[in-house]
Structure formats: structure tokens, C-alpha cells
């Protein structure tokens, strides 16, 4: 009998829900302080996860959740990229 594989769960920093990693978008801050969207989910650095939901992304921007999480200023372009992924107009690699 095949063993059922464990699905990695991560917590969305806005909704605090545990969800399968594939349903979330990872944002990373490197040691140098660069913040970017990590579509592979494997880049080095401190990661935070957001649900692939436009409302969640808007709320993250409004409340500054990522700024607090990373202790860094988040560029508006990051939120734009997150929205494109959530809307399905930018396809994850």
C-alpha cells in the first residue's frame, strides 16, 4: 500500500490560516535586505507566505504586514507582482 505523502503546510501571515504550501505565495528577504517574490519556494532567506487571494494581498499592503514581518520597506512593485500571481495573469515558474 502506497504511503500517503504529507503535504507541507504553511501559515499565511495575514489570515493566520494553515494551508498547503502550493496555495500560498512565498516572499523572501535576503541577508542583504532585498525583498522579492520567490515563485520556486526554495530561495535562501527569511520567507513569509501570503494566500493567493487578491483581498489578502490588498490587506497585507494596507496593514503593512510584510513590512513588519521583514522589518523592511516593501516596494509597491512587490504587491503588484503578488496581485498578478493571485489573478493568474503571471504564471509561477
Domains located in the chain, CATH noted: 9-87 (3.30.1230.10)
Q: Confirm whether pTM is higher than 0.85.
A: yes
Q: Say whether 19 sits in a helix, a strand or coil.
A: strand
The backbone region for 86, taken as left when phi is positive above 0, alpha when psi lies in -120 to 50, beta otherwise, is: alpha
Cβ atoms of residues 93 and 39 within 8 Å: yes
pLDDT at residue 2, rounded to an integer: 64
pLDDT at residue 24, rounded to an integer: 96
Q: What is the mean pLDDT of residues 13-20?
A: 97
pLDDT at residue 93, rounded to an integer: 47
Q: What is the mean pLDDT of residues 69-82?
A: 95
Amino acid at each position: 500500500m502506497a504511503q500517503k505523502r504529507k503535504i507541507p503546510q504553511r501559515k499565511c501571515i495575514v489570515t493566520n490560516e494553515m494551508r498547503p504550501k502550493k496555495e500560498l505565495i512565498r516572499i523572501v528577504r535576503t541577508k542583504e535586505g532585498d525583498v522579492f517574490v520567490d515563485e520556486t519556494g526554495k530561495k535562501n532567506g527569511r520567507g513569509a507566505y501570503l494566500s493567493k487571494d487578491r483581498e489578502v494581498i490588498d490587506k497585507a499592503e494596507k496593514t503593512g504586514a510584510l513590512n513588519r514581518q521583514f522589518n523592511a520597506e516593501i516596494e509597491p512593485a512587490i504587491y503588484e507582482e503578488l496581485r498578478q500571481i493571485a489573478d493568474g495573469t503571471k504564471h509561477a515558474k
